[in-house]
């Protein structure tokens, strides 16, 4: 069974393939990682050597590769193009998705995101914005015409860290924004991987539609998972520290988080990689049946202890 590891490279090294293992050479020493145990490789340094052969081997083993900039924000993604018996049919369904169904799916997604944001704030002991977030989640209409996602974000980020924090994506110099960007990058890699394995195209989203974004579906499905990254940063990343190796190792523990799914009267826990797979497969079911009730997003998260 794969252990679904995320490997982050942040120091100068050379990568090569050695008998189905990724070989990492640093200053006279070598480290080996079984490729079969890898899910995502994060390249967080410019001082690295690797060949197209390494990328090909990783892609053929369903490993996604993310390259970050100096602020730890993802700037490139190499995702596997997986041959799947249903690839053509599923991608044709994606391309032909009606606006009506896309709008319903977007509302379903943002509803789950708003509720997970509310749950996280509640766990933090914050009460002020909860009623409004829950009301938005309960009344959101197909396509989110009132833009509850943006309204909710404005309320949410005011209370995540209980100070004057401002969310910044690119070019964010502060520790917490860097940690958030790094954690979201890990999630994007996982979603890209499982979307490829499912025979879907990341280009065809149902909510995001930016012509310059080749990963619209990734950015759709990731939305309800973001509060898990936020919670990990809020509880384990300290503002006075730099986003150093220790902080990066902390963010890699995202893979140890558990996602909660409601199954009739039973709550089921999945480790993060399995949760991402479950959501992607649920989207396949929703796409093929044109039934939004087939969709499955987490209803909460459990952070790793320690």
pLDDT at 167: 85
The CA distances from residue 166 to 17, 132, 162, in Å, are 42, 20, 11
DSSP 82-145: ---TTHHHHHHHHHT--HHHHHHHHHHHHHHHHHHHHHHHHHTT--TTHHHHHHHHHHPPTT-T
pLDDT at 84: 64
Each of the 306 residues of the chain gets a pLDDT tens digit; together they read 456 788 888 889 999 999 899 999 988 899 999 999 998 898 988 899 999 999 999 988 888 898 888 777 778 888 777 666 788 899 999 999 999 999 999 999 999 999 999 999 999 888 888 999 999 999 999 999 999 999 999 999 988 887 778 888 766 678 899 899 999 989 998 998 899 888 899 999 999 987 777 889 999 999 999 999 999 999 988 877 788 888 888 999 999 999 999 988 889 999 999 999 999 999 999 999 999 999 999 999 999 876
Q: Contacts by 254-258 with C-beta closer than 8 Å and gap 24+?
A: 254/6, 254/183, 254/186, 254/187, 254/228, 254/229, 255/4, 255/5, 255/6, 255/39, 255/186, 256/304, 257/228, 257/232, 257/301, 257/302, 257/303, 257/304, 258/301, 258/302
Four-way CATH pick for 87-302: 1.20.1260.10, 3.40.50.150, 1.20.120.920, 3.40.50.1240: 1.20.120.920
pLDDT at 171: 67
pLDDT at 83: 60
pLDDT at 2: 57
CATH superfamily to which 5-78 belongs: CRISPR-associated endonuclease Cas1, N-terminal domain (3.100.10.20)
The CA distances from residue 245 to 45, 62, 74, 182, 192, in Å, are 12, 26, 17, 12, 25
Domain boundaries, the chain: 5-78, 87-302
């Amino acid at each position: 069974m794969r252990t679904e590891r995320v490997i982050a490279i942040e120091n100068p090294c050379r990568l090569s393939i050695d008998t189905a293992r990724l070989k990492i050479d640093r200053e006279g020493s070598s480290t080996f990682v079984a490729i079969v145990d890898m899910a995502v490789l994060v390249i967080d340094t410019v001082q690295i050597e690797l060949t197209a052969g390494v990328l090909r081997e990783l892609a053929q083993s369903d490993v996604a590769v993310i390259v970050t900039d100096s602020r730890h924000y993802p700037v490139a993604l190499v995702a596997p193009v997986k041959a799947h018996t249903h690839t053509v049919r599923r991608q044709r369904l994606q391309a032909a998705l009606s606006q009506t169904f896309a709008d319903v799916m977007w509302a379903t997604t943002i509803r789950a995101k708003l509720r997970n944001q509310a749950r996280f704030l509640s766990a933090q002991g914050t009460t002020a914005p909860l009623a409004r977030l829950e009301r938005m989640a309960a009344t959101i209409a197909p396509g989110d015409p009132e833009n509850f996602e943006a309204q909710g974000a404005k309320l949410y980020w005011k209370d995540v860290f209980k100070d004057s924090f401002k969310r910044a994506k690119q070019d964010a110099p502060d520790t917490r924004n860097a940690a958030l960007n790094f954690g979201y990058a890990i999630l994007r890699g996982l979603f890209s991987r499982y979307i490829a394995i499912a025979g879907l195209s990341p280009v065809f989203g149902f909510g995001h539609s930016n012509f310059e974004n080749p990963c619209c579906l990734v950015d759709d499905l990731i939305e309800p998972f973001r509060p898990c990254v936020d919670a990990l940063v809020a509880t384990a990343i300290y503002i006075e520290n730099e986003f150093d190796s220790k902080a990066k190792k902390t963010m890699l523990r995202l893979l140890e988080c558990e996602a909660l799914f409601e199954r009739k009267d039973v709550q089921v826990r999945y480790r993060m990689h399995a949760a991402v797979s479950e959501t992607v497969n649920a989207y396949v079911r929703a796409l093929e049946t044109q039934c939004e009730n087939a969709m499955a997003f987490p209803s909460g998260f459990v952070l790793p202890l320690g």
